[in-house]
Structure 1
Amino acid sequence: MENQSANVDLSKIKRGPIVAALIIGAFVAILNETLLNIAFPDLMADFKITESTVQWLATAYMLVVGMLVPVTALLQQWFTTRQMFIGAMMLFLVGTVISSVAPVFDVLLVGRVIQALGTGLMMPVMMNVILVIFPPEKRGGAMGMIGLVIMTAPVIGPTLSGLIVEHLSWRWLFYLIIPLAAFSVIFALAFLKNVTTLTKPKVDVISILLSCIGFGGIVYGFSSAGDRGSWSDPVVVWSLVAGGIALILFVWKQLVSRNPIMDLRAFKYPMFSLVTVLMLVMMMSLFSTMIMLPLFMQQVLLLTAFSAGLALMPGGIINGIMAPVSGVLFDKFGPRVLVIPGIVLMCVAIWMFMGIESDWTKGHIIMIHIIMMVGISLVMMPAQTTGLNQLPRSLYAHGTAILNTLQQVAGAIGVALFISIMSSGAKEYMKTSKDPTSPSELIQSMVAGLHNAFFIGLCLAVLALIISLFIKRTHAPKEEGAEQAAKAQVQTSKG
């Protein structure tokens, strides 16, 4: 067991290779998350399955990540940086190999779940390591590099996937990931160092079970509502009820436990709490466009999946380029000069999308999407870094786990919410239609539904703007006493 991290002298750590190892792994995992969706029609034909069955490849992935991330704070106190990250990437690699050779759908689903286990373990570890190895005044630039990967990989995914599926078998979506994942493992073995302190707290099995049922139930319930198109479906209702009850019990258990697996004392720090709410609202608002635009382009403008992915690529690339720039600006000027203008740009873009019509050109959409993605690049990483900067080092792993978990939940809620708003708006339009069977009327009904969805998206963006007015630069509390106590404990254990 590599238990040397308590004695690591962080001043001698070479940060560049560590960040490179983290970024390579993150890029591979996040690219994979959006790679498979465009191949769903091919998978349905190959395995002779229905749309509701193939959807499990996306739902199960989101579900596993949502269940696993809350436990990562505990795991990071039991396993070293190298063990966590390399273990996560090995799981991801194994899942990719299984998926690539899957003879039946069930085997493909198992491979996908193993991939999700790797992704769920890796993302909080990556953010925690950045917090540990960089001082607060340099974290913005480092988080900006992570932001480049987090925002660019999902945009490249659908376009790359469309290109591959058009010319090769869907299995190539996994074949191409295998060497990238293998390279990530080898690079991490060579360059990744242990930078976190192991405390090995008592494992609270009941809290882990409540966490899995709570977050898993909520994510699955909202995902099912989006897939099934009904909030009254028994599966949706019982998933949300079971998840909600388990979540309440989980929160209570964390508040009374001496060694919580997700330390909710992080919410005692006001800027962290503010940023958490801001990120929830932001993620839901972001999904109003991430979900609606591809649907509009494919079903109204009649573009292919590949063309729709290509149309969203300029905004994604500009967002990726802007992420490191906004990180450097954050280190220099603080969060307010970035976050507030960023959310204003988001509000403007969503307001423009509210006027969406069936005669819009692809260029019109690309222009507004670029405005929105520039706004997001000014908000995402600076806001998260601000919130995490206020936490003491002992809460870094818990803070990153909380943010990552709630973003997964917000993503699931966002998808379900905006699909249901769009569907109900389309149904309302058709009730007043003089010719409900006309293709042009079907298109107009979808446009009407989109107007409703973007209106709610705008309301959320305005709420995010109000919250952002209270954001300010933060400084981590001094923990000299805690660090001295930890050193004394190490010396005692040696004696």
Structure 2
Amino acid sequence: MTKIRTHPIDIYGNQFNRTGFVLVIMVGTFLTIINQTLLVTALPKIMDDLDISAVNAQWLITAFMLISGIMIPTSAFLLNTINNKKLFMVAMFSFAIGTVICAISTTYNMLLIGRIIQAIGSGLMIPLMQTLMFLVYPVERRGEAMGLVGVVIAFAPAIAPTLSGWIVDYFNWRYLFYIILPITMVNILLACFYMRNVINLNKPKIDVLSIMLSSLGLGLLLYGISVAGNIGWQNKITWLSCVAGIIFISLFSHRQSKLTQPFLELRVFKSKTFTLSTIIVAIIFMTMIGFEILLPIYTQTLKNLSALQSGLILLPGAIVLGIISPISGKLFDKYGVKKISMIGMFILAVATFPFFFLTEDTATWWIVCLYSLRMLGMGFVMMPLATAGINALSNSLISHGSAITNTVRQVFASLGSAVMVGIMSAAVTKYSNSYGGTTMTPLLNGLNKAFMSGFILITIAFTLCLFIASPSKEAK
């Protein structure tokens, strides 16, 4: 009988503690991801304190998403150039420095700079975690590994608004950063003992033009999508930015096909499983972000609930997702992706459908149940599909696959909020012209139309799931 190795080994052949390694990488990524949505419910207090407009305040979130999105593709190159322990430290120290600047900031510009420095670390940490988790678990346990990744990627941004709402209601908004900073420093200290180098470096030649094309393309595309929710898709700034971004991304893609050592290896899209799973997960993530934005609008505007109460409505769903993600990962290891994803998509579709029939009198408990059921379905779909996609790649392509998956997810997350809020706004404007003796307010009609768009997206993702085949569990 072959002896099963229970401990992973680093690039030097030394065994190390997987539990400590995983804990350090998960806590570090959780801290960086939670900052994506941490300021959502704190913006009004920040606006009052720093005397800034809503547009400027929104840039504290938009800039974070932009810089983080730009950094993600660069991570594939850095993971093959710098040893992963050093890269982890760089990312965490960047995040820590940004957090200090945010905590002590007395002006808007200072706070914005702090957010940008935070985002550099965040953009590196997301694909870093996914790549490292794949490499320290054997193929037959990668579902379990990605279940843990799912807890971080989905749970952190979902719980952040509730946490933020509670803190800003009782303390100064700067405590959002004061609380995170000591946890970050403790995690850096633990990384000194538990982090190990597990990636064999091939040190590809740096291609400055690829970096420029990637940064310009993603930056312009994400900017265009981000501002669309405020100024509309018909605005010249929106579509010119998006078109320019797509052109630069196309030039970047063309260049990668000509390089002997691509900055970002796009050959991963030759895998049908990887391509389909990436698209499906991105669509689902798109609806998740859209719903997280629309539901607070509904509960605060039409049901007159506070920001904290609104956040608490989302909390049970976030907890359900956090619990089910590791469970679905183990089920994936046992049953494969096909059965798990189809069950999850069915639950997700059933739970999404009632949202476009909401009224002002819809019971809050019913909303909580539906949203929690949506997150249950999401937990059965996102990480198993993401695992199947990465499993379809060779080990040498995992870092590139992780970078591409997270880049697409970042773009679709921004697209989700812009599209669904845009549909709501357009429906509100159209319905306002005929609003008179009807019982439905324009805002409620707009929300229903936006939720309907979410159901259509889920239906598309459901259909694509039919073409996913359970890959063999051979080591790549």
| Aligned match of 1:299 | 301
Measure how far apart 1:151 and its partner are: 2.3
| Aligned match of 1:198 | 201
Equivalent of 1:104 in 103, 107, 120: 107
Query: Distance in 2 between the 1:153 and 1:308 partners?
Result: 17
Measure how far apart 1:153 and its partner are: 1.9
Equivalent of 2:370 in 361, 368, 371: 368
Query: Distance in 2 between the 1:101 and 1:89 partners?
Result: 19
Measure how far apart 1:7 and its partner are: 4.0
Is the Cα–Cα contact under 8 Å of residues 283 and 407 in structure 1 kept in the other structure? yes
Q: Does 1:390 align with 2:392?
A: yes
Measure how far apart 1:288 and its partner are: 3.3
Instruction: Report the AA paired with residue 444 of structure 2.
Output: V
Query: Distance in 2 between the 1:425 and 1:178 partners?
Result: 43
Distance 1:6 1:154, change over 3 A: closer
Instruction: Report the AA paired with residue 87 of structure 1.
Output: V
Instruction: Report the AA paired with residue 350 of structure 1.
Output: T
| Aligned match of 1:323 | 325
Query: Distance in 2 between the 1:287 and 1:170 partners?
Result: 23
Greater mean alpha carbon deviation, residues 54-63 or residues 340-349? 340-349
Q: Does 1:33 align with 2:36?
A: yes
Equivalent of 1:314 in 291, 296, 316: 316
| Aligned match of 2:73 | 70
Query: 1:214-248 deviations in whole A, cap 9, x for unaligned?
Result: 111111100010122x1122321221121011011
Structure 1 unaligned segments of length 5 or more: list them.
480-495
Query: Distance in 2 between the 1:7 and 1:301 partners?
Result: 56
Equivalent of 2:137 in 126, 134, 138: 134
Q: Does 1:461 align with 2:461?
A: no
Query: Distance in 1 between the 2:239 and 2:339 partners?
Result: 43
| Aligned match of 2:12 | 8
Q: Does 1:258 align with 2:260?
A: yes
Structure 2 unaligned segments of length 5 or more: list them.
1-8
Query: Distance in 1 between the 2:55 and 2:385 partners?
Result: 37
Query: Distance in 1 between the 2:467 and 2:275 partners?
Result: 12
Q: Identity of counterpart residues, as a percentage?
A: 37
Q: How does 1:48-63 map to 2 (within 5 A)?
A: 48-63=51-66
Q: Does 1:95 align with 2:92?
A: no
Equivalent of 1:231 in 230, 233, 258: 233
Distance 1:245 1:476, change over 3 A: farther
- Which runs of 4 or more aligned residues in structure 1 lie more than 6 Å from their structure 2 counterparts after TM superposition? 476-479
TM-score, with structure 1 as normaliser: 0.92
TM-score, with structure 2 as normaliser: 0.95
Is the Cα–Cα contact under 8 Å of residues 6 and 198 in structure 1 kept in the other structure? no
| Aligned match of 2:348 | 346
| Aligned match of 1:410 | 412
Instruction: Report the AA paired with residue 131 of structure 1.
Output: F
Measure how far apart 1:477 and its partner are: 6.9
| Aligned match of 1:485 | none
Query: Distance in 2 between the 1:271 and 1:130 partners?
Result: 20
Measure how far apart 1:83 and its partner are: 0.8
Greater mean alpha carbon deviation, residues 146-155 or residues 326-335? 146-155
Is the Cα–Cα contact under 8 Å of residues 67 and 215 in structure 1 kept in the other structure? yes
| Aligned match of 2:158 | 155
Q: How does 1:474-485 map to 2 (within 5 A)?
A: 474-475=471-472
Is the Cα–Cα contact under 8 Å of residues 278 and 405 in structure 2 kept in the other structure? yes
Measure how far apart 1:315 and its partner are: 0.9
Is the Cα–Cα contact under 8 Å of residues 88 and 117 in structure 1 kept in the other structure? yes
| Aligned match of 2:170 | 167
Measure how far apart 1:472 and its partner are: 2.6
Query: Distance in 1 between the 2:11 and 2:308 partners?
Result: 51
Measure how far apart 1:366 and its partner are: 0.2
Query: Distance in 1 between the 2:346 and 2:300 partners?
Result: 28
Is the Cα–Cα contact under 8 Å of residues 388 and 396 in structure 1 kept in the other structure? yes
Q: Does 1:422 align with 2:414?
A: no
Is the Cα–Cα contact under 8 Å of residues 6 and 197 in structure 1 kept in the other structure? no
Instruction: Report the AA paired with residue 466 of structure 2.
Output: L
Instruction: Report the AA paired with residue 401 of structure 2.
Output: G
Instruction: Report the AA paired with residue 193 of structure 2.
Output: A
Query: Counterpart of 1:13 in 2: which secondary structure?
Result: coil
Query: Distance in 1 between the 2:19 and 2:413 partners?
Result: 31
Query: Distance in 2 between the 1:56 and 1:475 partners?
Result: 45
Query: Distance in 2 between the 1:96 and 1:157 partners?
Result: 16
Query: Distance in 1 between the 2:90 and 2:22 partners?
Result: 17
Query: Counterpart of 2:441 in 1: which secondary structure?
Result: helix
Measure how far apart 1:459 and its partner are: 1.1
Q: Does 1:471 align with 2:462?
A: no
Query: Counterpart of 1:358 in 2: which secondary structure?
Result: coil
Is the Cα–Cα contact under 8 Å of residues 390 and 477 in structure 1 kept in the other structure? no
Query: Distance in 2 between the 1:470 and 1:234 partners?
Result: 38
Instruction: Report the AA paired with residue 19 of structure 1.
Output: V
Instruction: Report the AA paired with residue 374 of structure 1.
Output: L
| Aligned match of 1:448 | 445
Query: Counterpart of 1:55 in 2: which secondary structure?
Result: helix
| Aligned match of 1:490 | none
Measure how far apart 1:268 and its partner are: 1.1
Query: Distance in 1 between the 2:252 and 2:408 partners?
Result: 14
Measure how far apart 1:264 and its partner are: 0.5
